[in-house]
């Protein structure tokens, strides 16, 4: 199938439109890229993209959108197997494979072996166990997964029902699935791939339950991959996304494993059935791992959202619709780019600002995390609680913004956003679980809010609290943990313009909002008897208010690493001011509800909306250079709409023509078959029966 010859060129061309946007850049895109993306990511991404480019046939994700589930798994296995080979050939490091997965947006069947099986062995196995399991795992001689979630148990890990019972007679554990609800479910890399499962099970010794503990259970033969005796295992079926991953289920029917298979770094079961816990290991270290995974999500969400904003902003700046309706009408009958319309800007530009804040925040937060880890490695676990609370809030904030942001980007692309070739749909499905896993975002907010309310309670009771950025703002804005008229917060009485130009005042206002909400929630719970359950809605809001402050504060911290003369700062300061005003505008109800003189008036909120609209228009002018600075390759975007050369419609049409249904060989055969089977009886059947009736 070919594009007919003799078509006229499109005037104005989409490629020229994108080039014109680029020419407006008021800063160096390369410098901005170096500022916004951390060095490690930049270097490794460049290296990996070079490796992928050297085998374009294999690493061709353009075909992905046409594939069935089976073909996707096959393709992911092919790619995953080759990546392991490349590692063995010394061309890629293990963590670079993860970057390759991200670039290709393919979460393949070896993923959880690397992400969960190996780290659990590294953290929870004794040296003897590491020799036994970790070494072959690192060599991919065994393939593992981490089987925690059960079909009936997700958030409540303590409620898991799979059992691991010590059998002193044979010096073994018997791992068992007592009922359907205890069937392991969702476990990545389990459906087809794993030979070994790290099974979280209730450890029972001498009839006593010691809670969930991980135990290694061989489930498939390493010789021929068939399931072992007593093991019922399979793929859980198709999902909204992640269809390149073999999430699996597992039921164990009284399966016996040697005693050595129970991870024994934090707990030990002796030959005689004595259970002990080593004295020299603080279990809070494991807690740190959970925080680490969340910091990784925060970082990943920047890249995730960047893909969507890059596609949507490039496309809306070349897509034209209606002449003379924007505020900048072009020559007669030349339609305006849809990005010139106020509503499109309002949906995309604040999202772009959030995206910049996410990149900056993830870098500044990573530094804070490393600091805390150093403290903890020195035995000071003081920073852990605040770190954990903030990480929960940030995980929620960034994944909520990213996932709903992708949805906004799709919708703003109109009908074409609905095509797989937009690059926004398969990708949306793959990114979606980030709001669910590692703590569902709604559940997670309770962690952050509980911490905040607890600090307020301590302040009220005069109990000591650790010194950190959270308690600092609570101390600043509350008097003995309570709201007071004096001192009035510093932002009171200032114009919106002056607030938008003053980072300190912005942080003052954002932290004041959070402090007020924390204090009011403490009042409700402690003085008006509001139950935990009735407080959950307020907890969501408090968590978000805290995170709004934290994001703004880390954003500013990262900006502060630039010299005051940096040519990047004018646009970055504008973006930070935009984000601040957007938070206020989105939560104007909170501003009206601030106590006493701090409460905002109608006139102030109107002014926020006006100033926000103005700054949105200004940042819109730099939108394409700003997304270019994310540095995402066309391979990664995998999108007709977001192509860096702006040749949107040409590529979109070409891609459609590549659909197997349209091809001259197999496509023709399918269409012929359907004509004979369906269309012909429908069309000729009526005629035939009509003719028959006439005879």
As measured in angstroms, the least distance from the Cβ of 423 to its own copies is: 11
At 608, is the secondary structure helix, strand, or coil?
helix
DSSP structural state of residue 423: S
Which H helix or E strand runs over 250? strand 248-252
Annotated binding site for FAD: 149, 188
Of the candidate spans 28-36, 203-211, 364-372, 434-442, the one that interacts with its own copies by CB under 8 A turns out to be: 434-442
Q: Does 433 bind its own copies (CB under 8 A)?
A: yes
CB nearer to its own copies: pick between 79 and 550: 79
Least Cβ distance, residue 234 to its own copies (angstroms): 4
Residue 438: active-site member:
yes
Query: Residue 252, exposed/middle/buried by CB under 10 A (0-12, 13-18, 19+)?
Result: buried
The verdict on 208 binding its own copies (CB under 8 A) reads: no
Measured from the CB atom, the residue of 103 and 616 that comes closer to its own copies is 616
| Residue 1 or 488 having the CB closest to its own copies | 1
Q: Phi and psi of 232, rounded to 5°?
A: -110, 115
Residue pair 366/299 in contact (Cβ under 8 Å)? The answer is: yes
By CB under 8 A, is residue 209 in contact with its own copies? no
Assess contact for 427 and 102: CB atoms under 8 A.
Answer: no
Q: Is 589 in the site for its own copies (CB under 8 A)?
A: yes
Among 25, 492, 505, 656, binds its own copies (CB under 8 A): 656
- Give the CA distances from residue 579 to residues 27, 59, 70, 358, in Å, rounded to whole numbers and listed in that order: 20, 38, 43, 11
Give me the residue label for tokens 């009206």.
592
For 596, residues 6+ apart whose C-beta sits below 8 A from its C-beta are: 485, 488
Pairing of strands 184-187, 248-252: antiparallel
Q: Phi and psi (nearest 5°) for 92?
A: -140, 145
Nearest approach, Cβ of 372 to its own copies (angstroms)?
Answer: 29
Q: 321 vs 469, which CB is nearer to its own copies?
A: 321
List the one residue from 325, 374, 597, 691 that touches its own copies (CB under 8 A).
325
Binding mask 181-200 for its own copies (x = CB under 8 A): x-x-xx----xxx-x-----
CA dihedral 530, 536, 537, 539 (to 10 degrees): 100
646 CB-near residues (< 8 Å, 6+ apart): 13, 14, 15, 16, 17, 18, 19, 314, 318
Report the site for its own copies in 116-155 (rule: CB under 8 A). Answer: 139-143, 149, 151-155
Q: Which of 272, 486, 687, 692 binds its own copies (CB under 8 A)?
A: 687
Which positions from 532 through 571 interact with its own copies, judged by CB under 8 A?
532-537, 540
CB of 226 or CB of 280, closer to its own copies: 226
DSSP 3-state assignment of 320? Answer: strand
Q: Which of residues 464-483 bind its own copies (CB under 8 A)?
A: none
From 43, 206, 232, 377, residue interacting with its own copies (rule: CB under 8 A) = 232
Pairing of the two strands 275-276 and 268-269: antiparallel
Distance CA 433, CA 417 (A): 20
Which of 225, 277, 463, 597 forms a contact with its own copies (CB under 8 A)?
Answer: 225
C-alpha 472 chain-centroid distance: 29
Closest by CA position to 212, among listed 157, 165, 147: 157
Q: Any residues with CB less than 8 A from the CB of 526 and at least 6 apart, and which?
A: 457
Nearer CB in complex with its own copies: 8/23: 8
**DSSP state, 336?**
P
Site stretch for its own copies (CB under 8 A), options 209-217, 321-329, 462-470, 506-514: 321-329
Nearest distance in Å: CB 623, its own copies: 16
Residue 151 CB, nearest distance to its own copies (Å)?
5
Residues in the interface with its own copies (CB under 8 A) total 147
Instruction: Write out the binding residues for its own copies, residues 99-118 only, by CB under 8 A.
Output: 110
Question: Rounded CA gap, 679 and 683, in Å?
Answer: 6
Q: Contact 130/163 with Cβ under 8 angstroms?
A: no
Contact segment (CB under 8 A) with its own copies among 42-50, 324-332, 498-506, 510-518 equals 324-332
Stretch that binds its own copies, among 384-392, 410-418, 543-551, 559-567 (CB under 8 A): 410-418
Closest distance of CB 396 from its own copies, Å:
13
Which of 55, 253, 282, 467 forms a contact with its own copies (CB under 8 A)? 253
Dist CA 55 CA 287 (whole Å): 41
Task: Choose the catalytic residue: 438, 504, 520, 618.
Answer: 438
- Select from 505, 518, 395, 404 the least CA-distant residue to 456: 518
Which residue lies nearer to its own copies by CB, 597 or 684? 684
Candidate ranges 54-62, 175-183, 463-471, 575-583; the one touching its own copies (CB under 8 A): 175-183
Bridge-partner residues for 250, per DSSP? 184, 233
Q: What angle do CA 166, 170, 173 make, to 5 degrees?
A: 30
Considering only residues 667 to 686 of the shown chain, the ones binding its own copies according to CB under 8 A are 670-672, 674-675, 677-686
- The 327-346 site mask, x for binding its own copies (CB under 8 A), equals x-------x----xxxx--x
In the annotated binding site, the residues are 149, 188
List C-alpha distances in Å: 653 to 190, 487, 650, 667. 39, 64, 5, 17
Q: How far is the CB of 585 from its own copies (least distance, A)?
A: 9
Q: Which parts of 4-23 interact with its own copies (CB under 8 A)?
A: 4, 6-10
Q: Is 531 near its own copies (CB under 8 A)?
A: yes
**210 forms part of the interface with its own copies (CB under 8 A):** no
**Contacts to its own copies from residues 613-652, by CB under 8 A:** 613, 649-650, 652
Residues identified as active-site: 438
């Amino acid at each position: 199938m070919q594009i007919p010859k003799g078509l006229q060129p499109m005037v104005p061309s989409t490629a020229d439109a994108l080039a014109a946007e680029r020419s407006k850049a008021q800063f160096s895109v390369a410098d901005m890229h170096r500022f916004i993306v951390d060095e490690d990511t930049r270097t490794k991404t460049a290296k990996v993209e070079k490796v992928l480019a050297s085998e374009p046939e294999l690493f061709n994700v353009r075909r992905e959108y046409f594939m069935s589930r089976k073909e996707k798994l096959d393709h992911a296995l092919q790619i995953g197997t080759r990546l392991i080979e490349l590692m063995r050939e010394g061309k890629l490091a293990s963590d670079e494979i993860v970057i390759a997965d991200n670039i290709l947006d393919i979460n393949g069947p070896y993923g959880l072996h690397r992400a969960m099986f190996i780290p659990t062995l590294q953290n929870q196995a004794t040296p003897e166990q590491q020799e036994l399991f970790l070494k072959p795992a690192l060599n991919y001689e065994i393939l593992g997964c981490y089987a925690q979630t059960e079909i009936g148990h997700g958030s409540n890990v303590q409620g898991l029902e799979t059992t691991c019972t010590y059998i002193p007679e044979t010096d073994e554990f018997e791992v068992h699935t007592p009922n359907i609800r205890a069937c392991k479910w969702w476990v990545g890399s389990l459906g087809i791939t794993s030979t070994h499962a790290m099974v979280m099970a209730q450890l029972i010794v001498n009839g006593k339950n010691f809670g969930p503990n991980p135990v290694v259970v061989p489930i498939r033969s390493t010789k021929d991959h068939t399931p072992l005796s007593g093991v019922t295992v399979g793929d859980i079926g198709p999902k909204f996304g992640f269809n390149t991953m073999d999430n699996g289920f597992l039921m164990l029917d009284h399966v016996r494993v040697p005693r050595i298979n129970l991870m024994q770094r934090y707990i030990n079961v002796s030959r005689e059935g004595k259970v002990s816990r080593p004295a020299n290991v603080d279990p809070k270290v494991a807690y740190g791992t959970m925080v680490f995974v969340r910091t990784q999500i925060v970082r990943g969400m920047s890249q995730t959202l960047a893909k969507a904003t890059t596609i949507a902003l490039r496309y809306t700046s070349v897509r034209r619709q209606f002449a003379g309706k924007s505020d900048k009408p072009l020559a007669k009958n030349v339609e305006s780019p849809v990005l010139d319309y106020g509503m499109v800007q309002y949906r995309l530009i604040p999202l772009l600002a959030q995206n910049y804040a996410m990149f900056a925040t993830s870098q500044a937060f990573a530094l804070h995390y490393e600091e805390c880890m150093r403290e903890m490695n020195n035995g000071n676990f003081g920073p852990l609680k605040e770190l954990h609370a903030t990480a929960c809030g940030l995980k929620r904030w960034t994944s909520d913004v990213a996932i709903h942001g992708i949805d906004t980007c799709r919708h703003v692309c109109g009908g074409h956003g609905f095509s797989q070739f937009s690059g926004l749909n398969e990708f949306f499905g793959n990114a979606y679980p980030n709001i669910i896993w590692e703590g569902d975002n709604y559940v997670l907010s309770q962690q952050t809010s509980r911490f905040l309310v607890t600090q307020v309670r301590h302040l009220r009771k005069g109990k000591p609290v650790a010194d950190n950025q959270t308690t600092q703002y609570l101390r600043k804005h509350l008097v003995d943990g309570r709201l007071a008229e004096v001192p009035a917060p510093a932002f009171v009485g200032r114009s919106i313009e002056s607030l938008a130009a003053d980072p300190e005042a912005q942080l003052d206002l954002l932290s004041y909002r959070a402090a007020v909400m924390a204090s009011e929630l403490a009042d409700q719970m402690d003085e008006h008897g509001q139950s935990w359950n009735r407080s959950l809605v307020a907890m969501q809001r408090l968590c978000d208010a805290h995170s709004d402050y934290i994001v703004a504060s880390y954003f500013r911290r990262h900006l502060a690493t630039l010299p005051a003369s940096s040519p990047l700062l004018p646009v970055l300061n504008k973006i930070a001011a935009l984000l601040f005003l957007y938070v206020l505008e989105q939560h104007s109800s909170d501003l009206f509800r601030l106590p006493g003189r701090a409460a905002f008036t109608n006139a102030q909120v109107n002014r926020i909306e006006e100033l926000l609209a103005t700054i949105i228009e200004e940042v819109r002018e730099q939108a394409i250079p700003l997304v270019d600075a994310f540095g995402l390759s066309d391979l990664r975007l995998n999108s007709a709409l977001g192509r860096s050369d702006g040749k949107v419609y040409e590529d979109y049409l070409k891609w459609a023509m590549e659909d197997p249904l349209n091809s001259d060989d197999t496509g023709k055969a399918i269409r012929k078959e359907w004509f004979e089977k369906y269309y012909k009886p429908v069309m000729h059947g009526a005629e035939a029966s009509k003719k028959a009736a006439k005879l």
